[in-house]
C-alpha cells in the first residue's frame, strides 16, 4: 500500500513562510500594478518572480507548471465563447497562438515583467538582451510563431508563474482569474490576426494541398547546426540553417512560401541533401556561386537581408540567396553572422553544399 505523501501547505514549499522578503517589496508592488491586482498572499508573487538559479527550494517552477495549464484552460473557455462556430482545428491554432512561448515572452517584455525576475544566472541576461533587440525591430506586435531569435523560455515562464499566483490567490476561481489576468495578455490574438499572419509551416501545407502537391519538411544536424529543408513532391524547394530547430524550420518555410505561390516554382531533379565532405562554411562561396551561375547561364545570385538585429556594436545578420534557373527559382537562408558579407557567404555556402542542379555538381 502506497504511503500518503505529506501535504503541500503552500506553493512556497516553506510552511508558514508568509512574510515578504524586504528586498522584494518594491518588485512585488510594481508587478501588482502591472497585473492590476493586490495580492492577499504576497509571498506567492515573490515565489512567482524567483528563478531556480536564485533558490532551489523557493522558486517559480511549481507555479509555472500550474500557470501553463491555467492559461490554456482559461484561453480555451474564452475562445469557445467568442467563436461558437469555429472548428476545433482553428480553435487549437488560435489557442496556441495566444499561449505560445513566443507570444508569452513578448507579453513579459511589453508589460515589463522581465525587470522583476529574481535570478542568479548572468547567461539569462545575455539571452534576454538579444531577444529584446530583435523584438524592438519587429513591425507587428502580434508575432506569435517566432522571429530570427528563439524566445528565452524564462520570459514565458514568468508570465505563467505570475498567472498561477493570481489563480491560487483567488482560491482557484477560473472566472475571477480571467477577469484579472486577461488585461495582461491583451491584445489577444484574434482569428483575423491569424489570417493576416498565418503560421508559415501551416501555410505551406495548405497551399500545397490546394495545388495537389505533397510537402514534407526534413531536419538534420551537420557541423553542430540544425538544417531544415522543404520538399515538394519529393523534390527540394528551400533550405535554412540555425542553431535552433524551430528557427531553421520557420526560415525554411518562409523562404519556400513565395516560391510555392509562384507558378515558376523550381523543384530540382536532384537530391539536394547529399553528403558533402569538409566544413560547412566555404571560403569564397559567393564568388564560386557567381562562377557557377555564369557557367550554367543562370541569373546572378540575388542576396537579401532576412534579419538585421542587435545593437551597432553587436549586429547579427541573416541573409538569403535566390537563383533563377531554367526550372524556376531556388532560395536558401544562411545562418546568423556578425557581418553582412559573412551572412551572404553563409547563404551561398548553403546553396553550394546543399544543391545539385540541372545535373551540374557543385564541387
Domain ranges of the chain: 22-196, 200-361
Q: How confident is the model at residue 15 (pLDDT cuts 50, 70, 90)?
A: very low
pLDDT digits (tens, 9 = 90+) for 299-336: 888 888 877 777 777 788 888 888 876 655 677 778 78
The yes-or-no verdict on residue 112 having pLDDT over 90 is yes
Query: What's the chain's average pLDDT?
Result: 78
Q: How confident is the model at residue 36 (pLDDT cuts 50, 70, 90)?
A: very high
Q: Which fold has domain 200-361?
A: Double Stranded RNA Binding Domain (3.30.160)
Q: How confident is the model at residue 145 (pLDDT cuts 50, 70, 90)?
A: low
pLDDT at res. 329: 65
pLDDT at res. 222: 72
The yes-or-no verdict on residue 105 having pLDDT over 80 is yes
The yes-or-no verdict on residue 57 having pLDDT over 80 is no
pLDDT at res. 286: 87
Q: How confident is the model at residue 9 (pLDDT cuts 50, 70, 90)?
A: very low
Cα gap 79→196, rounded to integer Å = 18
The yes-or-no verdict on residue 243 having pLDDT over 70 is yes
For domain 22-196, the question of CATH label 3.40.50.300 is answered with: no
pLDDT digits (tens, 9 = 90+) for 182-239: 999 999 888 877 666 656 776 777 677 667 778 788 887 876 778 788 888 777 777 7
Q: Give the mean pLDDT of 245-267.
A: 67
Amino acid at each position: 500500500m502506497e504511503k500518503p505523501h505529506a501535504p503541500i501547505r503552500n506553493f512556497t514549499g516553506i510552511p508558514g513562510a508568509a512574510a515578504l522578503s524586504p528586498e522584494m517589496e518594491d518588485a512585488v508592488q510594481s508587478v501588482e500594478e502591472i497585473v492590476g491586482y493586490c495580492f492577499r498572499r504576497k509571498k506567492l508573487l515573490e515565489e512567482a518572480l524567483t528563478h531556480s538559479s536564485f533558490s532551489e527550494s523557493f522558486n517559480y517552477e511549481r507555479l509555472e507548471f500550474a500557470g501553463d495549464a491555467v492559461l490554456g484552460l482559461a484561453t480555451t473557455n474564452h475562445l469557445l465563447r467568442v467563436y461558437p462556430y469555429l472548428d476545433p482545428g482553428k480553435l487549437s491554432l488560435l489557442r496556441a497562438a495566444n499561449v505560445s512561448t513566443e507570444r508569452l515572452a513578448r507579453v513579459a517584455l511589453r508589460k515589463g515583467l522581465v525587470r522583476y525576475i529574481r535570478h542568479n544566472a548572468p547567461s539569462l541576461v545575455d539571452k534576454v538582451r538579444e531577444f529584446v533587440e530583435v523584438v524592438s525591430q519587429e513591425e507587428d506586435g502580434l508575432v506569435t510563431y517566432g522571429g530570427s531569435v528563439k524566445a528565452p523560455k524564462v520570459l514565458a515562464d514568468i508570465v505563467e508563474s505570475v498567472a498561477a499566483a493570481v489563480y491560487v490567490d483567488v482560491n482557484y476561481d477560473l472566472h475571477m482569474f480571467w477577469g484579472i489576468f486577461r488585461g495582461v495578455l491583451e491584445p489577444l490574438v484574434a482569428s483575423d490576426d491569424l489570417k493576416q499572419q498565418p503560421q508559415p509551416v501551416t501555410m505551406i501545407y495548405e497551399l500545397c494541398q490546394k495545388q495537389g502537391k505533397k510537402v514534407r519538411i526534413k531536419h538534420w544536424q551537420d557541423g553542430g547546426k540544425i538544417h531544415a529543408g522543404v520538399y515538394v513532391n519529393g523534390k527540394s524547394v528551400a533550405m535554412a540553417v540555425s542553431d535552433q530547430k524551430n528557427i531553421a524550420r520557420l526560415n525554411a518555410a518562409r523562404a519556400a512560401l513565395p516560391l510555392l505561390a509562384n507558378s515558376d516554382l523550381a523543384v530540382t531533379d536532384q537530391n539536394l541533401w547529399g553528403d558533402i565532405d569538409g566544413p560547412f562554411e566555404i571560403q569564397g562561396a559567393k564568388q564560386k556561386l557567381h562562377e557557377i551561375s555564369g557557367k550554367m547561364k543562370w541569373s546572378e545570385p540575388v542576396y537579401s537581408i532576412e534579419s538585421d538585429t542587435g545593437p551597432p556594436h553587436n549586429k547579427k545578420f541573416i541573409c538569403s540567396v535566390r537563383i533563377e534557373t531554367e526550372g524556376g527559382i531556388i532560395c536558401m537562408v544562411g545562418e546568423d553572422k556578425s557581418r553582412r558579407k559573412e551572412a551572404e557567404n553563409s547563404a551561398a555556402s548553403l546553396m553550394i553544399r546543399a544543391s545539385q542542379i540541372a545535373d551540374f555538381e557543385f564541387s
